[in-house]
């Protein structure tokens, strides 16, 4: 039973609306309803893997017979996939809501294949990010009608994918756009990670937190790489125009912060701090490498500054998790700190000492550091639990 419901029932008892026995019956009833309505992990895994295997099987079957089909049969097959999956989802809504959610999710995923296959069938030579945009509009329509977490997750993935793909096409032959793209990647992951605050239990928000938690470290690593090589020495490229850069920065800054405000309201102020940290991190990464005569050199001070900012970000995640009592942020912060230390060792020390000595030090660092981090993490979790 969530502490939020317990506190609400206790308020009713304190206000003399109900007595303690009635309050206990309410809590017992809610516990029983939660147990009945909750989806067990074996069922969840069966539905998830079943949906993936079904989609993969249909895709392989269509791909194997694609060249044998006429354009009319191809287009009919594409439409049939959309109709059959969504119809199956509609028919199982009352009897098995979880299966309905899975089938609707496969149908929305099939929409993307339908869009691009239709373009191939009719030889439509359009800007390919437009296909991603249409796919995202379909996911938005699905979420508007169904209000389930699968449609929300697809929308949460497709909207940034469209912006990234469109920006990639726009900056294909220009320089100066990588830092902007890197900033947008980090802030999007942060805004998703911040979807749940304190005791929020929404399934849709939980899905966004999972996306943000999984994507944060890869997005941060990719962003650092993009910022380092925002310029190139392999071929002469023209810089982006001022109006294009201004528009891109407005979208990269405003869109994630607006999403955070929509999800959290006034509690979105930590995202402003993360925006400052992200920009400083990318600014440091962009000055880490200096180009001259088809070669590049790395700054020692810049390297130390970059890893120090990574540590600051790790500590910030842990502090944010403790403040809002979110376990996933504490765990992610501890993991980010460990990865930062390991990368700093590989990047700055391992190549300067002997092979055997470096392996011994690395082994000792992993054992002692892993033990220290786990003890620290457990203490932080206990502290967070006792503070509730």
Confidence check: pLDDT of 81 > 70: yes
Q: Quick check: is 263 in a domain?
A: no
Judge whether 153 lies within some domain: yes
Structural domain contains residue 50: yes
Q: What's the pLDDT at 317? A: 93
Q: Return the closest-CA partner of residue 343 out of 312, 311, 317.
A: 311
Asked if 124 and 133 count as a contact pair (C-beta separation under 8 A), the reply is no
Determine, yes or no, domain membership for 315.
no
Instruction: Identify whether 104 is part of a domain.
Output: yes
Beta-carbon contacts of 310 under 8 Å, excluding residues fewer than 6 positions away, are: 220, 281, 336, 340
**Is 151 among the domain residues?**
yes
SS3 state of residue 159: helix
pLDDT tens figures, 132-184:
999 999 999 999 999 889 999 999 999 999 999 999 888 887 777 888 899 99
**What's the domain range around 65?**
43-170
pTM of the entire predicted model: 0.80
pLDDT in tens, 18-71: 787 787 777 776 665 554 444 555 666 676 667 777 777 766 766 666 677 777
Which pLDDT band, with edges at 50, 70 and 90, does 199 fall under?
A: low
Find the DSSP H helices in 147-202.
149-170, 178-193
* Number of neighbouring beta carbons within 10 Å of residue 283: 15
152 lies in some domain? yes
Does residue 341 form part of some domain? no
Number of separate domains in the chain? 1
């Amino acid at each position: 039973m969530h502490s939020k419901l317990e506190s609400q029932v206790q308020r009713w008892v304190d206000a003399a609306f109900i007595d303690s026995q009635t309050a206990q019956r309410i809590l017992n009833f809610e516990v029983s309803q939660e147990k009945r309505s909750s989806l067990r992990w074996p069922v969840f895994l069966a539905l998830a893997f079943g949906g993936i295997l079904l989609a993969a099987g249909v895709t392989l079957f269509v791909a194997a017979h694609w060249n044998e089909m006429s354009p009319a049969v191809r287009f009919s097959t594409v439409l049939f996939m959309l109709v059959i999956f969504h119809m199956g989802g509609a028919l199982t809504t009352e009897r098995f809501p979880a299966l309905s959610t899975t089938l609707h999710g496969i149908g929305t995923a099939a929409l993307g294949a339908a869009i691009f296959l239709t373009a191939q069938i009719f030889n439509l030579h359009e800007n390919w990010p437009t296909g991603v945009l249409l796919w995202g509009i379909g996911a938005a329509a699905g979420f508007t009608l169904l209000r389930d977490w699968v449609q929300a997750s697809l929308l949460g993935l497709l909207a940034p994918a469209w912006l990234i793909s469109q920006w990639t096409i726009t900056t294909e032959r220009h320089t100066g756009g990588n830092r902007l793209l890197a900033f947008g990647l980090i802030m999007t992951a942060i805004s998703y990670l911040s979807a749940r605050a304190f005791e929020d239990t929404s399934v849709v928000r939980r899905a966004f937190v999972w996306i943000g938690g999984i994507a944060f470290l890869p997005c941060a690593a990719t962003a650092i790489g993009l910022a380092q090589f925002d310029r190139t020495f392999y071929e002469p490229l023209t810089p982006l125009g001022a109006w294009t850069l201004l528009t891109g920065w407005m979208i990269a800054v405003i869109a994630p912060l607006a999403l955070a405000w929509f999800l959290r309201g006034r509690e979105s102020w930590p995202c402003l701090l993360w925006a400052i940290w992200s920009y400083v991190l990318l600014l440091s990464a962009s000055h880490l490498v200096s180009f001259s005569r088809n070669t590049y050199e790395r700054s020692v001070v810049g390297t130390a500054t970059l890893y120090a900012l990574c540590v600051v970000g790790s500590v910030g995640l842990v502090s944010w998790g403790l403040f809002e009592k979110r376990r996933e942020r504490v765990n992610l912060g501890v993991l980010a700190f460990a990865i930062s230390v390991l990368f700093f060792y590989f990047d700055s020390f391992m190549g300067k000492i002997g092979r055997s000595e470096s392996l011994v030090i690395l082994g000792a660092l992993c054992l002692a550091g892993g033990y220290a981090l786990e003890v620290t993490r457990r203490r932080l979790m206990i502290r967070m639990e006792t503070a509730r």
